Amino acid sequence: MDIKLVKDEKYDIEIIVLKSLKRCEKDEKKILKNSNFEAKEAQIQLIKNKLFVGINSFDGEDIKIAFCNAINFLKKSKFEQIKVNISSGKTEFEIEHIVQGLVLGSYEFEKYKEEKKKSEKKILIDITNSSKSIEQLQDELEKSLNICSSVNMVRDIVNTPPEDFYPKTMAIKAEQIAKENGLECKVFGEEYLKQNGMNAMYAVGQASRHESQLIHLTYKPIVSKGKVVFVGKGLTYDCGGLSLKTGEGMVSMKCDKSGASALLGIMNSLKDIKCEYEVHAILGAVENMIGGNAYKPDDVLKARNGTTIEVRNTDAEGRLVLSDCLCYAQDEIKDIDYIFDFATLTGACIIGLGEYTSAVLGHSEKLKKRILKASKKSGELVGFLPFNRYLPSMIKSQVADIVNSTSSKAGSTITAALFLDNFIKKENKKKWLHFDIAGPAYREKSWGYNPYGATGAAVRLILAFLQRKK
Close Cβ partners of 183 (under 8 Å, ≥ 6 residues apart): 177, 217, 218, 219, 267
- The tens digit of pLDDT for each residue in 133-192 reads 999 999 999 999 999 999 999 999 999 999 999 999 999 999 999 999 999 999 999 999
For 251, other C-beta atoms within 10 Å of its C-beta total: 11
H helix runs in 6-94, sequence order: 26-34, 60-74
Report the percentage of the chain scoring pLDDT > 90: 95
Mean pLDDT value across the chain: 96
362: closest CA among 320, 319, 405, 420?
Answer: 420
Question: Cα angle vertex 300, ends 299, 305, to 5°?
Answer: 145
C-alpha radius of gyration, the chain, whole number: 24
- Our CA dihedral for 92, 108, 14, 139, rounded to 10 degrees, sits at 40
Separation CA 347–CA 315 (nearest Å)? 12
The predicted model gives 202-209 an average pLDDT of 98
Sheet strand arrangement including 50-54:
2-6, 122-126, 81-85, 13-18, 50-54, 44-47
Q: What's residue 23's pLDDT?
A: 81
Q: Give the CA distances from residue 161 to residues 210, 449, 454, in Å, rounded to whole numbers and listed in that order.
A: 14, 23, 12
Measured distance CA(77)–CA(401) in Å, rounded:
62
Which of 257, 319, 431, 443 does the annotation list as catalytic? 319
**pLDDT higher than threshold 70 for residue 455:** yes
pLDDT band at 468 (very low <50, low <70, confident <90, very high): confident
Q: What is the pLDDT of residues 294-348, one digit of tens each?
A: 999 999 999 999 999 999 999 999 999 999 999 999 999 999 999 999 999 999 9
Confidence band of 89 (pLDDT split at 50, 70, 90): confident
Give me the catalytic one of 29, 122, 220, 245.
Answer: 245
Q: Which CATH superfamily is domain 161-466 in?
A: Zn peptidases (3.40.630.10)
Q: What is the pLDDT of residues 381-403, one digit of tens each?
A: 999 999 999 999 999 999 999 99
CA distances (Å), origin 155, targets 152, 284, 456: 5, 18, 5
pLDDT value at residue 470: 55
Altogether, the residues listed in the chain come to a count of 470
Architecture category of domain 2-132 in CATH: 3-Layer(aba) Sandwich (3.40)
Distance CA 393, CA 406 (A): 10
User: Can you tell me whether residue 58 is helix, strand or coil?
Assistant: coil
Average pLDDT over residues 415-436: 98
pLDDT at 256 over 70: yes
The pLDDT value given to residue 59: 96
Asked if 2-132 and 161-466 have one fold, the answer is no
Using alpha carbons only, give the angle 466, 453, 372 rounded to the nearest 5 degrees: 30
Give the model's pLDDT for residue 469.
63
- pLDDT at site 117: 77
Q: For 305-384, where are the E strands, in sequence order?
A: 308-310, 338-343, 357-362, 381-384
CB-based burial of residue 46 (10 Å sphere; 0-12 exposed, 13-18 middle, 19+ buried)? middle
Residue 319 annotated in active site: yes
Report the pLDDT value the prediction gives residue 120, as an integer from 0 to 100: 81
Work out the burial of residue 357: count CB atoms within 10 Å of its CB; fewer than 13 is exposed, 13-18 middle, 19 or more buried.
buried
Domain spans, the chain: 2-132, 161-466
Whether the CB-CB separation of 339 and 406 falls below 8 Å is answered with no
Question: What is the tens place of the pLDDT at every residue in 210-250?
Answer: 999 999 999 999 999 999 999 999 999 999 999 999 999 99
State pLDDT tens for residues 31-58.
Answer: 999 999 999 999 999 999 999 999 999 9
pLDDT at position 118 is 73
Would the pLDDT of 271 be above 80? Answer: yes
Query: Which residues 6+ apart lie within 8 Å of 32 measured at CB?
Result: 21, 24, 45, 47, 52
The DSSP 8-state label assigned to residue 450 in this structure reads B
Three-state DSSP at 438 gives coil
- Give residue 90's pLDDT band: very low, low, confident or very high (50, 70, 90): confident
